Amino acid sequence: MTSALLTDRYELTMIDAALRDGTADRRCVFELFTRRLPAGRRFGVVAGTGRLLDALASFRFGEDELSWLRSHDVVSAPTLDWLADYRFTGSIAGYREGEVYLPGSPLLVVEASFAEGVILETLALSILNYDSAVASAAARMVAAADGRPLAEMGSRRTGERSAVAAARAAYIAGFAATSNLEAGRTWGVPTMGTAAHAFTLLHDSEEEAFRAQVDAMGSGTTLLVDTYDITDGISTAIRVAGTSLGAIRIDSGDLPTVVASARRQLDELGATGTRITVTNDLDEYTIAALRAAPVDSYGVGTSLVTGSGSPASGMVYKLVAVETPSGEWRPVGKRSDGKATVAGRKVAVRSLSHGVAVEETVYVEEPESDPKPGRGLLVDLVTDGVVHPAHLGADGVAAAREHHLAAIAELPLAAFALSRGEPVIPTVYV
């Protein structure tokens, strides 16, 4: 499948006009960044980079796409010819996937001709905005869970493509598994899942349903015990599966009270090793409220994959430098009230003190002095049109997950507070 029409019309009409006036081939630098974090957030997490690079490889205008553009008079014939031959030949640098980001961070730096670079705007923003929003929310939930595993279960609350993207982003940010099989097949995310309430309702009794599930999946399975009455459900589950039952799942009720009661009942029945997982419209706040409860794992859906819990990252994609006829770079930027941008190509360094991040320094153009000591944040993603393979596929996801663990470990403890607050690390422009 081509990703070429996953874009906005004005990307193509700009190219059409630029081809007409001869500016389409001017070398340019575009940057993707966010002006501010969502309200109350203290850091964000970059996700979607590997998906973007994968989409870049399929960003091709075939005859079907060209015919549609022609029949709807979107661009002129010369532009259609240009699109037919489109291949990205520029270079892209950016923050590694899984990295922590702050306002003003140059998350993606695209150097290419104007036409080759501007056409990627909508594609880059649609992927990184959503994936980073999910990853940022997931990171807060992982911190709130305090070492207990979480599973992503939001496929039925978002679009079918977004469901896969959300599972991938959540896994990079520390979730342990997903219910979405395509995320497992395409990106190597571990999958999980046993049965829903419908399976219990299918059978003439809860006991028959439990016996059927244990016969099929073994006593190590997870039984959903709240279809009718939780206390009776737990008793039936242990009677059917024995004290070696792997886990019970609770999807309703006042969770702190219900979970405490369930743990006491399981222990009294001798099922001291049976785990408790909860899945009742959880978010980072309810997860944090359950820290003292005997919960072993969580399943999260709606609040992770929708805007209610993962507010948009607010990323933008802006032209920051243009090559002049003499070969020099001219910084450019908007002056619009409330939407001004800092002109010029940027390089970012994160300064650490005793292993803890204390400042993000963004150098504009060539630094006047040696950069501050710290960790350089930009890595090469695409060089002269060739994608660096380390960022692709399931291996890229695994690498991003590993990098996220290292990046999140650098943050000060204040970063994980769930109360409203400002970005935890100051950003300084030099």
pLDDT band at 367 (very low <50, low <70, confident <90, very high): low
Pairing of strands 27-34, 315-323: antiparallel
Burial of residue 424, with CB atoms counted within 10 A of its CB: 0-12 exposed, 13-18 middle, 19 or more buried: buried
**Domain span at residue 383?**
9-134+310-429
Q: What is the mean pLDDT of residues 283-293?
A: 95
Instruction: Answer whether residue 372 shows pLDDT above 90.
Output: no
What is the average pLDDT across 399-417? 96
- Specify the CATH number for the domain of residue 286: 3.20.20.70
Residue 2 lies in a domain: no
Sheet-wide strand order for 356-364: 375-376, 346-353, 356-364, 427-429
* Statement to judge: residues 162 and 271 lie in one domain: yes
What is the C-alpha separation between 106 and 133, in angstroms, rounded? 17
Indicate whether 71 pLDDT > 90.
Answer: yes
pLDDT score, position 101: 96
pLDDT at 306 over 70: yes
For the ranges 105-114, 171-180, 362-371, the lowest mean pLDDT is seen at: 362-371
What would the pLDDT profile of 212-225 be if each residue is shown by its tens digit? 999 999 999 999 99
Q: Is the confidence at residue 325, as pLDDT, over 60?
A: yes
The answer to whether residue 387 is domain-embedded is: yes
Give the range among 66-70, 220-224, 301-305, 382-386 with minimum mean pLDDT: 301-305
Specify the DSSP class assigned to residue 183: H
In the block, which residue shows the tokens 């015919």? 67
Claim to verify: residue 297 and residue 314 sit in the same structural domain: no
**Residue-level pLDDT at 308:** 75
Kindly give the pairing relationship between strand 275-278 and strand 297-300. Answer: parallel
Within-domain flag for 1: no
- State the average pLDDT over residues 386-410: 97
32 and 162 in a single domain? The answer is no
Q: What is the pTM of this model?
A: 0.94
* pLDDT-derived band at 169, boundaries 50, 70, 90: very high
User: How many domains, the chain?
Assistant: 2
Any idea what the CATH number is for the domain that residue 330 is in? 3.20.140.10
Range 327-350 average pLDDT: 89
Whether residue 343 is predicted with pLDDT greater than 70 in this model: the reply is yes
Residues 399, 319 share a domain: yes
Residue 339 pLDDT = 80
pLDDT (mean) for 89-94: 98
Q: Could you give the CA distance from residue 380 to residue 397 in angstroms, rounded to a whole number?
A: 16
Interval 238-254 mean pLDDT = 97
Task: Report the C-alpha gap between 322 and 27 in whole angstroms.
Answer: 6
Q: Are 331 and 365 in contact (CB under 8 A)?
A: yes
Angle 122-127-132 (CA atoms, 0-180°, nearest 5)? 130
Judged against a pLDDT cut of 90, whether residue 310 lies above it is answered with no
The mean of the pLDDT values for the chain is: 95
E-strand spans in 97-148? 100-101, 108-113
Q: Helix, strand, or coil here: 281?
A: coil
Do 314 and 299 belong together in one domain? Answer: no
Q: How far is Cα 228 from Cα 237, in angstroms, rounded to an integer?
A: 13
Residue 353 phi/psi, 5-degree rounding, is: -130, 115
